[in-house]
């Protein structure tokens, strides 16, 4: 996942307008316009760094001559009190950009840190951790970028890049077609032959129907460990297997040991705690 700078520049512009309004009244009233300063961005807790290029764009949006020097790499595990970057330039734009830059950086580091933790929980197995579409509206590109930086993997980006026949699709299909899953897969392949097809299965019967329909991926939704093991045997390598629903960190290793290919976790993005990062003037 690469940063979509066209989209992110729009986010930055909106965020700055939201915060700055008619101007930074405090800085404009206290700081002489020609004053210059130096600052550092420092993490106050251990984290995986993600988002420094975005923070740099925020500072330079207010003054293109600000010098922003990253001191760590994207994806680097940083100990508490690691200096992430140095900043130098006009004092007023640096102060005015501080909160917006930190808002981006703290959230993206938070996502990358959780992503790293989840990926490490299944290390040594074939299972990969996937994100979901449970993202902040407008932030999906950045949040999925942070997931990838942290070491987990990206699922589909949106509704356009994979067919995913979920429970509500199956409910409607069952009222329309004789064999809901088989007919739905057939129609999806005919309409969008270039896309892979995934079927969400709630029961072992759904699993068998998805195998018979030759789905590329089968999503085992809210199944317990014993049922997952049975489903893996039924699928027997005929499709890639994803597990989702009710996933907690403590369950990851046990699920991975069943031999599934993917575990998708909304928690990577929808409820992540921001990392404590501050800007300190030098």
CA distance linking residue 170 with residue 191, whole number of Å: 17
The domains of the chain are located at 5-119+272-281, 121-268
Per-residue burial over 165-181, b if 16 or more Cβ lie within 10 Å, else e, is: beeebbeebeeeeeebb
For residue 30, what pLDDT is reported? 97
Query: To the nearest whole number, what is the mean pLDDT of the chain?
Result: 97
Whether the pLDDT of residue 46 is over 90: the answer is: yes
Could you report the per-residue pLDDT of 112-155, keeping only the tens digit for each?
Answer: 999 999 999 999 999 999 999 999 999 999 999 999 999 999 99
For residue 8, what pLDDT is reported? 98
61-65: average pLDDT: 98
Tell me if residue 144 is catalytic: no
198-220: average pLDDT: 97
Contact between residue 281 and residue 38 where contact means Cβ atoms under 8 Å apart: yes
Which alpha helices (DSSP H) does 23-90 contain, by range? 25-30, 52-62
For residue 178, what pLDDT is reported? 87
pTM of the model: 0.95
For residue 179, what pLDDT is reported? 87
Least confident of 2-6, 80-84, 174-178: 174-178
Task: Provide the CA 233 distance to its chain's centre, in angstroms.
Answer: 31
223-245: average pLDDT: 97
Whether the pLDDT of residue 225 is over 90: the answer is: yes
* Catalytic choice (81, 99, 123, 254): 99
Tell me if residue 133 is catalytic: no
CATH node for 121-268? 3.20.20.70
86-105: average pLDDT: 98
249-272: average pLDDT: 97
Which alpha helices (DSSP H) does the chain contain, by range? 5-20, 25-30, 52-62, 91-121, 140-150, 167-176, 180-191, 204-212, 225-235, 252-256
Tell me if residue 46 is catalytic: no
* Catalytic choice (24, 221, 242, 261): 221
Confidence of residue 273 (pLDDT cuts 50, 70, 90): very high
Tell me if residue 107 is catalytic: no
* Catalytic choice (166, 214, 254, 257): 166
For residue 12, what pLDDT is reported? 98
CA distance linking residue 268 with residue 272, whole number of Å: 7
CA distance linking residue 228 with residue 145, whole number of Å: 30
Tell me if residue 162 is catalytic: no
* Catalytic choice (7, 86, 134, 156): 134
Give the Cβ contact number of residue 205 at 10 Å: 11
Whether the pLDDT of residue 249 is over 90: the answer is: yes
Architecture of domain 5-119+272-281: Alpha-Beta Complex (3.90)
For residue 1, what pLDDT is reported? 84
* Catalytic choice (198, 200, 206, 261): 200
Confidence of residue 49 (pLDDT cuts 50, 70, 90): very high
Contact between residue 51 and residue 109 where contact means Cβ atoms under 8 Å apart: yes
Confidence of residue 188 (pLDDT cuts 50, 70, 90): very high
């Amino acid at each position: 996942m690469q940063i979509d700078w066209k989209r992110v520049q729009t986010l930055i512009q909106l965020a700055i307008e939201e915060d700055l309004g008619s101007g930074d009244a405090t800085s404009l009233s206290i700081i002489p316009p020609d004053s210059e300063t130096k600052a550092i961005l420092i993490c106050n807790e251990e984290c995986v760094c993600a988002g420094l290029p975005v923070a740099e764009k925020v500072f330079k949006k207010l003054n293109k001559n600000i010098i922003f020097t990253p001191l760590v790499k994207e994806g680097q595990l940083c100990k508490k009190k690691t200096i992430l970057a140095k900043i130098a330039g006009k004092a007023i734009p640096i102060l005015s950009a501080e909160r917006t830059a930190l808002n981006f950086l703290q959230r993206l580091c938070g996502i990358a840190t959780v992503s790293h933790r989840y990926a490490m929980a299944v290390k040594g197995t074939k299972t990969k951790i996937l994100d979901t579409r449970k993202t902040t509206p407008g932030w999906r590109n950045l949040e999925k970028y942070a997931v990838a930086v942290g070491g987990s993997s990206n699922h589909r980006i949106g509704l356009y890049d994979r067919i995913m026949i979920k429970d509500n699709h199956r409910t409607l299909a069952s009222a329309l077609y004789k064999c809901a899953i088989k007919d739905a897969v057939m129609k999806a392949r005919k309409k969008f032959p270039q896309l892979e097809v995934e079927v969400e299965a709630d029961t072992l019967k759904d699993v068998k129907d998805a195998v018979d329909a030759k789905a590329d991926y089968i999503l085992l939704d809210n199944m317990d460990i014993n049922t997952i093991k049975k489903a893996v045997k039924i699928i027997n390598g005929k499709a890639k297997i994803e597990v989702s629903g009710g996933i907690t960190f403590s369950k990851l290793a046990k699920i991975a040991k069943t031999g599934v290919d993917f575990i998708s976790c909304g928690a990577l993005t929808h409820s992540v705690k921001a990392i404590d990062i501050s800007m300190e003037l030098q």
